[in-house]
Amino acid sequence: MNQAALDLVPGESLPELTVDELRNVIRKARIEKLNQLHQIIPVPRNYPEFLDSIVRKGELILSRENRSFQLDLFNQEVYQRLAAFFSGDQSYIRHQLNPSKGILLFGQVGTGKTMLMRLMGMNPTNPFKVVDSIEIARQYTAQGEETISKYTALLPVTRREYYGHDYVGLCIDDIGIESTAKHYGQSKEVIEEILYLRYSRRLLKETHLITNLNSQQLRELYGIRLYDRMKEMFNLIEFPQDASSRR
Q: How confident is the model at residue 161 (pLDDT cuts 50, 70, 90)?
A: confident
Domains delineated in the chain? 17-95+102-238 (3.40.50.300)
User: Strand 186-188 relative to strand 167-173: parallel, antiparallel, unpaired?
Assistant: unpaired
Rounded to 5 degrees, φ, ψ at 130 are -100, 125
Q: How confident is the model at residue 244 (pLDDT cuts 50, 70, 90)?
A: low
- pLDDT per position as a tens digit, 38-88: 455 568 888 999 988 888 888 887 777 777 777 777 788 899 999 999 998
State yes or no: pLDDT of 190 exceeds 60.
yes
- How far is 6 from 207, CA to CA, in rounded Å? 46
| CA 36 remoteness from chain centre | 22
